Chain A
Amino acid sequence: MLSLRASRCRIAGFAVFLIAMGALTACGSKTGDTASGGGAVADTSGATVKVGLLNSLSGTMAISEVTVRDALKLAVDEVNESGGVLGKKIQAVSEDGASDWPTFAEKAEKLIQQDRVAAVFGCWTSASRKAVKPVFERNKALLFYPVQYEGLEESPYIFYTGATTNQQIVPALDYLKGQQNSSLYLVGSDYVFPRTANKIIKAYAAANGMKILGEDYAPLGSTEFGTIVNKVKASGADAVFNTLNGDSNVAFFKEYKSAGLTAATMPVLSVSIAEEEVKSIGTQYLADQLTAWNYYQTTAGAANQKFVKAYKARYGADKPTSDPMEAAYVSIYLWKAMVEKAGSFDVAKVKAASDGIAFDAPEGNVTVDGPSQHVYKTARIGKVGSDGLITEIWTSGKPVKPDPFLRGYPWATGLS
């Protein structure tokens, strides 16, 4: 029992130090060896061809990314049942990005170098995409990215099957403007997507006579929204534009309802809340709030009925389908079509074959725009119903040509 008090202080200090170390090592860079020059060659010699699935199966983003992985697996199995790609069965290698961006880079390197996959499908947050982008470019390997994002990017080694800003955020702003909302409050998670999205929103607002009454960012994973909601409420804005991601949405909407704010008094338009997130936040808190996507489980069409049925048969009747899942599902089919048009798994040939590849997707017809490596998509505004599903209340009517740098919008000059 010698000098217990002193040792207690030391232990306490050490505990704090260790926690901090834990946080630091989780963020530490651990990118593996890099291939010098040429780039990795996918191994397509066998009877099967490997593809990589890179999603966060743990950590704060697992809530969303696990469903994307499930949709990817469903598409892989469907393709295999119908004969595979170029006569080869696809073998999916799944890696956990663990909601940690350096881990994404490390796993991408592993999939390309060690597993020699023909293409990688996955990533959710822009931070993870930015982390793996140099890996794919250095190795001249292909990534199919299935989530809506902030645009202003055209990597020659990434195919973007989710919406870029002019297929989601700009139509959402058009919708809000059409509904006589003249002032907005911006709430987002603190990383690249919300910050860039809000830059675009502010440029749009300036050109369209809308007022931005406030802008707040919470760290990813933050679950304390008392103050932000107080600020939103005090601002008296007509509507809230929400770019929060992951767990934060749960805390934000619980607080929002507690403060007495509803969709009728101050609607929230969210761009990262799909059916799966609605389920984990609770319809109690989300009733009648707005979302902007390109696909909902309720979207009409035979292709969607087939997709929803297959997904539920495999993962459970209570599992909803959502936009990023659909975009991920579609990405496997688009890659298959590109490979078959090219007659080869070779990355350069697949890229060259990509322009004009079309697929009858659950969201409707999608077409690959070769030069930008993005996809034509229909914009849809939806409303959260009491059954947890989202129903379309507005649509762009036809697929919108992707414009990641917003070159076709005069107010957006200077953003990129």
Chain B
Amino acid sequence: MVVLSQLFTGLSIGAVLLLIALGLALTFGQMNVINMAHGEFIMAGAYTVYVLQKSIRSAGASLLVALPVGFLVAGAMGVLLEFLLIRHLYARPLDTLLVTWGVALMLQQLARDIFGAPNVQTRAPDVLTGHVTVFSTDSGSLSLASSRLFILALAVLAVIALALTLRLSALGRRIRAVVQNRDLAAVSGIPTGRVDRLTFFIGSGLAGIAGVALTLVGPIGPAMGTNIIVDAFLVVVVGGIGQLWGTVIVAFALGVLQAMVEYSTTVSVAKVLVFLAIVAFLQWRPQGLFTVRTRSLA
């Protein structure tokens, strides 16, 4: 019973990680941009729920509206960032890192000035604050938190939507072309600048969706992004740069590992062991779980 409920806890930790890391898998993994402000796009998504709930009374409706709105808000912020700063720095990744870090700090302060330093609260629809009992026997019952199920479903949906977009749509083909060989894509007539901007829009928008989902399980405040961004980068690095499936597998693997170890030890010990596992793994496979193989990337 305990193993099952911990497995679910692990999967739900993984789903949160996945939602956060999915946008990064695009901007960091595909475009090679280290965007330290990614966490603040998550924060923007979370505050979207807070702002929307001022005008939409129903918690459920506001959450549903917040998903697309959060995507657009964070996506627009991403496009703005790409247009104003990042596109001038594509050849200078380390400068990008520092610049976006600065932007992250500014966005945090902006949130503090607009919404105040203390955390804000949002209302969750009643369906999402309870739990679903899967089965119950004399020895105990397995009940799953509805908010976690929702996030799990949302993460799976986001992965499927993103994978389909990348694989089937014209935009997806262009994104993959630019990722695999920017010069060749450019001479083939693909407007790489516009593709970059669109990729960044989707990646940042996914952060917004993650932010909306996080209001169900965590605090909503100016610093919420910084707390989770490190784990998200780890997921993408371990998963393998430029690969979606690596990110998915690693997010769930890390979540389950954390939950299992934590149950028999403590939070801190589990964190240390997970980090050690990551270090050991990267010693063995420094390129991550999966890598893109193309002739041009030799």
Contact = CB atoms under 8 A, between A and B. Distances in A.
Contacts of B234: 16
A257 interface: yes
Contacts of B224: 223, 247
Nearest to B291: A5
A279 B9 CA distance: 27
A226 B17 CA distance: 14
A3 interface: yes
B267 A228 contact: yes
B34 A11 contact: yes
Given A12-B241, A254-B147, A260-B143, A234 B2 contact: yes
A259 B131 contact: yes
Interface stretch (A53-61, A105-113, A197-205): A53-61
A280 B117 contact: no
B224 to A, nearest CB: 8
A134 interface: no
Given A234-B2, A258-B145, A280-B121, A218 B227 contact: no
Given A279-B121, A281-B121, A218 B298 contact: no
A281 B119 CA distance: 8
Contacts of B296: 1, 4
B272 to A, nearest CB: 11
Interface stretch (A62-70, A336-344, A407-415): A62-70
B102 interface: no
A190 interface: yes
Interface residues of B, number: 72
Interface in A1-30: 1, 3-5, 7-9, 11-16, 18-19, 22-23
Contacts of B130: 257-258, 260
Contacts of A265: none
Interface centre among A66, A254, A257 (most CB of B within 10 A): A254
Contacts of B251: none
A227 B216 contact: no
Contact of A57 (B117, B263, B287): B117
Nearest to A226: B9
A227 B147 CA distance: 15
Contacts of B236: 12
A255 interface: yes
Contact of A223 (B97, B112, B227): B227
A226 to B, nearest CB: 4
Contact of B268 (A1, A15, A190): A190
A284 B123 contact: yes
Given A190-B268, A230-B9, A260-B131, A223 B182 contact: no
B86 to A, nearest CB: 14
Nearest to A260: B131
Nearest to A57: B117
B193 interface: no
Given A4-B297, A9-B287, A18-B97, A247 B119 contact: yes
B32 A11 contact: yes
A230 B2 contact: yes
A16 B131 CA distance: 36
B119 A280 contact: yes
A115 interface: no
Nearest to B229: A19
Specify which of B97, B119, B227 lies most central, judged by the most chain A CB atoms within 10 Å of its CB: B119
A258 B129 contact: yes
Nearest to B131: A260
Interface string B264-281: 001110110000000000
A128 B62 CA distance: 39
Interface of A: 1, 3-5, 7-9, 11-16, 18-19, 22-23, 57-60, 62-64, 66-67, 190, 216-219, 221-224, 226-228, 230-231, 234, 247, 250-251, 254-255, 257-260, 276, 279-282, 284-285
Interface of B: 2, 5-6, 9, 12-13, 16, 28, 32, 34, 93-94, 97, 101, 112, 116-124, 129-131, 140, 143, 145-148, 181-183, 216-224, 227-230, 233-234, 236-237, 241-242, 258-259, 262-263, 266-268, 270-271, 286-288, 291-292, 296-298
Given A11-B34, A62-B112, 8 more contacts: A5-B297, A19-B229, A66-B118, A219-B267, A224-B16, A230-B6, A255-B217, A260-B130
23 contacts: A11-B93, A12-B28, A13-B237, A13-B286, A58-B117, A62-B118, A62-B223, A63-B221, A221-B227, A223-B218, A223-B219, A227-B263, A230-B263, A234-B140, A247-B221, A251-B218, A254-B129, A258-B129, A259-B143, A259-B145, A279-B118, A280-B219, A281-B121
